[in-house]
Structure 1
Amino acid sequence: MKINGNEIRPGNVIEHNGGLWAAVKTAHVKPGKGGAFAQVELKNLIDGTKLNERFRASETVERVRLEQKDYQFLYAEGEMLVFMDTETYEQLELQKDFVGERAAFLQDGMMVTVESHEDKPIGIKLPDQVVLAIVEADPVVKGQTAASSYKPAVMENGMRVMVPPFIETGERILVDTNEITYLRRAD
C-alpha cells in the first residue's frame, strides 16, 4: 500500500532502499524556504541499524503490513527454539540469536507473537511481564539508606536484576521483559 512521505507515523513499517524499516520517530518540518518534509528515524527490522531520512509530501513509500501469528513456546534444543502454531500444530524453529537475550524469559507453554513478512519471521513479541523466582540474592547491607538500596539478585533463568532489599532468595517477582527490570513481588 503506497502512502505519502508526510503520512509516515511511528510504528509504521515501510519498504525503503530494498529493506524493511520501522519508523521509530517522526517530526514534521516546515523550513522558511522550500517545501515541508517529514524527518523520520528508521530502524532496520532485519539487522537493527538506524537511519535518519527525509521524506517530502510528494514522495510515496510502500507501507508494509506484517502478518502476526500467535505461537506457543515448546522447548529449546541447542541453539534452536521450537514454537508451535496452536491452530495448525505446525512447528516453527528459530535461532536463539533471533530472540536475543530475552530468550532467557521463555517458559514452557508461553504464548508469543511472531511477526513475519512473506512467510519469513522478522520479529517476535514476548509477554511484557513474567514471573520468576530469585535463586540468589545478596544480603542487605546495614546502614544503607532506603533511597539507593537496591541489591543485585539472580533469577531462575540465570539473568541478573536489581531488587529492593526486602526481596530474598526463593521469592517470586514480576519482571519487565523489555527493560529487564524488577516491577514488584508476584502474588
Structure 2
Amino acid sequence: MAKASEIKNGNILRFNGELVIVNEIIHRTPGKGGAFYLGKFRNIKTGKIVEARLGTDEQVEICRVETNNYQYLYEEGNYFVVMDYDSYEQFNVAKELFGPAAVYLKEGMDVIVSVESEEPIMAQAPNFVELEITYAEPAVKGDTSSGALKNVTLENGVEIKVPLFVNQGDKIKLDTRTGEYVERVK
C-alpha cells in the first residue's frame, strides 16, 4: 500500500477492485479545505476512463507488473499460447488483450505481454509485421490514377487494400495498429 502522494503517471493500481493505469494525477490545493489529488485512470480491461479524488494520505495499492518479450507459438481456442524466452515456460494469453492487431499475428513472432500476479493483463503485437500475399486481384490496365488500390488476401486470410504494383507472392510490411499497407519487402 502507498499514499496517494506517491502515485505517478503510468503506475498500475488496484482501484475499486479493478486494475487501472494512471493517465494523469494532479495535486490541488483549494482556497478552502485540505489539499487532494485528482486522478484520471483508465480501466485496463474495459478502457473506460475514471476520475477520482484522493486525499493526500489515502492509501492505494500499486500493483507490480512485469512486462517482457515472449514468442507467440500458436492459437488455441480464444487464447494465444506464448513462450518465455528464458524459462521456456508456456502460458495462455486471451486474444482480446491484443485487440484488433490479433488477426495479424503469425507463429514465431515476438509479442509483449504484461503480467500481474501471474495473470496476463495487457498484450501488444509488434507494430509492423511482414506477411505474404496469397491472392491479388489483377490490376486494371490504364488505371494509373494517383493512389489507386486493389484488394489482396494475406497468408492469414485477412483482406486489405494495397497499391496496384503489388502482386500475388509478394511479401509486404503491414502496420498492425491501423491494418494498412506500409511497403513491399524485397
Q: Residue type matched to 1:2 in 2?
A: A
Q: Residue type matched to 1:4 in 2?
A: A
Match of 2:172 in 1: 173
Partners of 1:112 and 1:124 within 8 A in 2? yes
Would you say 1:107 and 2:113 are equivalent positions? no
Superposed, 1:136-147 pairs within 5 Å as 136-141=135-140, 142-143=142-143, 145-146=145-146
Q: Which moved more, 1:101-110 or 1:112-121?
A: 101-110
Q: Scaled by the length of structure 2, what TM-score is found?
A: 0.76
Residue 118 of structure 1, CA deviation: 0.8
- Tell me, in whole angstroms, the C-alpha distance in 2 between the residues paired with 1:151 and 1:38: 50
Residue 98 of structure 1, CA deviation: 4.3
- Tell me, in whole angstroms, the C-alpha distance in 2 between the residues paired with 1:123 and 1:152: 32
Partners of 1:6 and 1:38 within 8 A in 2? no
Q: Residue type matched to 1:104 in 2?
A: V
Residue 2 of structure 1, CA deviation: 2.6
Superposed, 1:98-137 pairs within 5 Å as 98-137=97-136
RMSD: 3.1
Overall identity of the aligned pairs, in %: 31
Q: Which moved more, 1:54-63 or 1:128-137?
A: 54-63
Q: Residue type matched to 1:159 in 2?
A: V
- Tell me, in whole angstroms, the C-alpha distance in 2 between the residues paired with 1:181 and 1:172: 14
Q: Scaled by the length of structure 1, what TM-score is found?
A: 0.76
Partners of 2:111 and 2:126 within 8 A in 1? yes
| 1:165 to 1:29, Cα distance in 2 relative to 1, 3 A | farther
Residue 151 of structure 1, CA deviation: 3.0
Match of 2:48 in 1: 50
Superposed, 1:1-187 pairs within 5 Å as 2=2, 4=4, 8-9=8-9, 11-23=10-22, 25-26=23-24, 38=38, 40=40, 42-45=41-44, 47-55=45-53, 58=56, 61-141=60-140, 142-143=142-143, 145-146=145-146, 148-187=147-186
- Tell me, in whole angstroms, the C-alpha distance in 2 between the residues paired with 1:93 and 1:129: 23
Partners of 1:6 and 1:57 within 8 A in 2? no
Deviation digits for residues 121-177 of structure 1 (CA, Å, limit 9, x no counterpart): 11222222110012223333544631x423332211111222222222221111112
Partners of 2:74 and 2:82 within 8 A in 1? yes
Deviation digits for residues 45-91 of structure 1 (CA, Å, limit 9, x no counterpart): 2x324123044573554332311233222222444432222222222
Structure 1: gaps (5+ residues) = none
- Tell me, in whole angstroms, the C-alpha distance in 2 between the residues paired with 1:27 and 1:4: 9
Q: Which moved more, 1:96-105 or 1:131-140?
A: 96-105
Q: Residue type matched to 1:170 in 2?
A: G
Residue 96 of structure 1, CA deviation: 3.5
| 1:155 to 1:89, Cα distance in 2 relative to 1, 3 A | same
Structure 2: gaps (5+ residues) = none
